A and B are shown apart, each in its own frame.
Chain A
Amino acid sequence: MKEININVHHVTRVEGHGNIVLNAKNGNIEELRWEVVESPRFFEAMLRGRRYDDVIIIAPRICGICSLAHSTCSIQACENAFGIVPSEQTLLLRKLLYDAETLQSHVLHYYFLTAPDLLGVGSVFPLVETHKDVVLMALRLKKLANDLADIVCGRKTHPIQPMVDGFAKLPKPEELRAIQKRLKDAMNDHQATVELFKTLKIPQFERETEFIALKDPTEYAFISGDISSTDTGTTPVANYLEMTNEFCVPHSTAKYAKHNRESYAVGALARFNNNHEQLSPRAKEAAEELGLKAICHNPYMNNVAQLVEAIYVTEHAIDLIDQLLARGLKEEKPDIQVKAGRGIGAVEAPRGILFHDYTFDERGILKEANCVIPTNQNHNSIQKDFEALVPQILNKPENEIKLLLEMLVRAYDPCISCSAHMIKVEFR
């Protein structure tokens, strides 16, 4: 019988540093681990002692890929602590920048980080020669998302304009009209992406699990709503600790989480499984064409769910711009009365539900912070998927097993630097 020794040190094409370890002999699995080895950054320590307006600048630096999600979550936590209800205009702009965030991150993930596996190459770079039209389309979609973020945030990575209770600068109507036209044109690129996805062979594997995401009765939730589980229904954001139950494992600098079962999953697939009925008709159509049906238990289908969401947020952004142009953009001065207290922000980062929980003193100085990162919530699910998948594929050649495990990790789109940055620091 054969011996299998797989040790992938620092999985490539994921954000951050993680390892895969598999040792098997004569069909017996001796070791099988998903290890998180990112250097911890002690973000809670970095935030502690800073005033709220510095906190919202430091917090996005947790992650370069989803800085707009951390920014939004951080701002919401501050507003929640100070009892601020932002204006309708602020909420519309926040949703618009959030569409840019989701589109940017999803396109990066399925084109740059995942597609090379499905097309049998090591990175997007050789595709410039073999699939030039696909690469140009990917770059075009990414540029569109980045430009939309630029207009609303002043910069795509680490936003400048979003503030507590408002924006430091507003987009110009002509900028919004121009980008809206490009968003409409992008629907053709999305359709071409759907056609491309139809030709790709997505691995078949299922493990029944629990999916957790935000849920809002008014729309497909990204920055509002309650916490929803496919097992246990909805619960208010204030009870997030009961859902996440983080715990430590020795081989990881990130925390793990579980709720109703041995693990749960968050992210595009979890959102789809909880909220698919609220998608737009074209997004629903794409899901159907690609065989994505709720409740889907194949983690590799997360990439398909991302594409479905990319279509949804593009249409959503077009609609938001119509609303903003119809009501007209007006300068609004933030009205912030700082007070002591605790506030929780909850958003759907591209990789799943994200919480920032801050406690401030009466001067608006942060005393304590706890941030629960989507990838932390998925680490345990990745491990359990490994344990369910490996026995099914152990008879395959070693390089195929390795690729399937790496692809599984990439399907979750883990943001490992985020997750390891968030170890809770308790001060005496």
Chain B
Amino acid sequence: MKPRLAFFDFTGCEGCQLEVLNFEQELLDIISAADIVNFREAMTERSDDYDIAFIDGAITTERDVARIKEIRERAKILVAIGACACIGGINCLKNFYPMEEVLRIVYGESAHYYDTIPARPVDAVVPVDYYVQGCPMTQSEFVKVVKALLTGKKPEIPNYPVCVECKMAGNICVFEKGETCVGPVTRAGCNALCVTNGRTCWGCRGLVDDPNTDSEKEILAKYNLTPEEIIAKFRMFLGYSEVAK
């Protein structure tokens, strides 16, 4: 029997589900090797019987917490896709404001009706087996992970910083151009796409394991960023991690 795949969206822009629909030949290949049984953005049918669950979006309500626990119980393998699910992503920017007050101001008397909690990644609530990082998720990494899972292998995900790929791409270092970047502590796998296309690394693929964030902060300070600007830089995508607190 073909493995049964399910896609579930939580709080996010749904860009990662769109990236799945944006595959061309790969999408046809996946359909021939597996059955997609749940994908609300693309299909009407829904099934609770699945092997691999792909989760995009962050957990931001109590309802989300209950729903992700239920999915975890049903799924044999759970894969977080995209920055919101993997690291909390830009949703965590709201965590730095007093939510109760914001809610009351927005909804007034009905504030109790709206359920919102500080945004968090999926693995803050349930164990996650595999991650496809990036905002939006890196498409080649998704293919790599799906192929590995369908053939029963373990996907290899880089655990070195974006700087390694950036040098291999032949880019001039962002710091040399007088700008700043969090590539030195961000997990590679994107081929330094943003720097290659003329911009800087914002850290959307999350931190490498054991990142030297103190030294990164020192470098940013050396390049004249104020402590507030340094924190703002880390909060863009990494608001849930210690480095942004």
* A interface residues, Cβ below 8 angstroms from B: 10, 12-16, 39-42, 45-46, 49-51, 54, 57-58, 61-65, 67, 108, 112-113, 116, 122-125, 128, 139-140, 142-143, 146, 154-158, 160-161, 167-169, 250, 253, 417, 421, 423-428
Q: How far is the CB of B111 from chain A (nearest CB, A)?
A: 12
Q: Is the CB of B106 within 8 A of A424?
A: yes
Closest Cβ neighbor of B15 among chain A residues = A64
Q: Is B93 an interface residue (CB 8 A)?
A: yes
Known: A12-B40, A45-B102, A61-B135. A250 touches B93 (CB 8 A): no
Q: Is the CB of A123 within 8 A of B24?
A: no
Closest Cβ neighbor of B195 among chain A residues = A160
A39 to chain B: which residues have CB within 8 Å?
10-11, 60-61, 64, 116
Q: Is the CB of A169 within 8 A of B236?
A: no
Q: Is B49 an interface residue (CB 8 A)?
A: no
| Complex interface: stretch among B121-129, B181-189, B197-205 | B197-205
What sequence of 0s and 1s flags, for each residue 109-120 of chain B, a beta carbon within 8 Å of any chain A beta carbon? 010011010000
A108 to chain B: which residues have CB within 8 Å?
18, 21
Q: In the complex, which of the residues A58, A123, A154, A157 has the most CB atoms of chain B within 10 Å of its own CB atom?
A: A157
Known: A39-B11, A67-B15, A253-B114. A168 touches B198 (CB 8 A): yes
User: In the complex, how many residues of chain B place their beta carbon closer than 8 angstroms to a beta carbon of chain A?
Assistant: 52
Known: A39-B116, A41-B94, A168-B199. A128 touches B194 (CB 8 A): no
The 6 closest A-B pairs by CB, nearest first: A64-B15, A168-B198, A123-B43, A154-B197, A122-B44, A169-B198
Q: How far is the CB of B54 from chain A (nearest CB, A)?
A: 15
Q: In the complex, which of the residues B15, B39, B135 has the most CB atoms of chain A within 10 Å of its own CB atom?
A: B15
CB contact between B105 and one of A123, A140, A253, A428 (< 8 Å): that residue:
A428
Question: How far apart sit A50 and B202, CA to CA, in the bound complex (Å)?
Answer: 14
Interface of A is mostly: loop
CB contact between A65 and one of B11, B14, B28, B45 (< 8 Å): that residue:
B14
B40 to chain A: which residues have CB within 8 Å?
10, 12-13
Q: Is the CB of A112 within 8 A of B21?
A: yes
Question: How far apart sit A241 and B180, CA to CA, in the bound complex (Å)?
Answer: 38
B194 to chain A: which residues have CB within 8 Å?
154, 160
Question: Told that A125-B43, A160-B193 touch, could you supply 19 new A-B pairs with CB distance under 8 A?
Answer: A12-B44, A39-B11, A39-B61, A41-B60, A45-B93, A49-B232, A57-B236, A58-B90, A61-B90, A65-B18, A146-B22, A154-B198, A157-B18, A158-B135, A168-B197, A250-B110, A417-B12, A425-B106, A426-B105
Question: How far apart sit A139 and B46, CA to CA, in the bound complex (Å)?
Answer: 24
Question: How far apart sit A64 and B97, CA to CA, in the bound complex (Å)?
Answer: 25
Q: How far is the CB of A67 from chain B (nearest CB, A)?
A: 7
Q: How far is the CB of B117 from chain A (nearest CB, A)?
A: 10
Q: Is the CB of A64 within 8 A of B13?
A: yes
A428 to chain B: which residues have CB within 8 Å?
105
Q: Is the CB of A62 within 8 A of B198?
A: no
Q: Is B86 an interface residue (CB 8 A)?
A: no
Q: Is the CB of B199 within 8 A of A161?
A: yes
Q: How far is the CB of A412 from chain B (nearest CB, A)?
A: 16
Q: Is the CB of A46 within 8 A of B15?
A: no
Q: How far is the CB of A247 from chain B (nearest CB, A)?
A: 13
B46 to chain A: which residues have CB within 8 Å?
12
Q: How far is the CB of B234 from chain A (nearest CB, A)?
A: 12
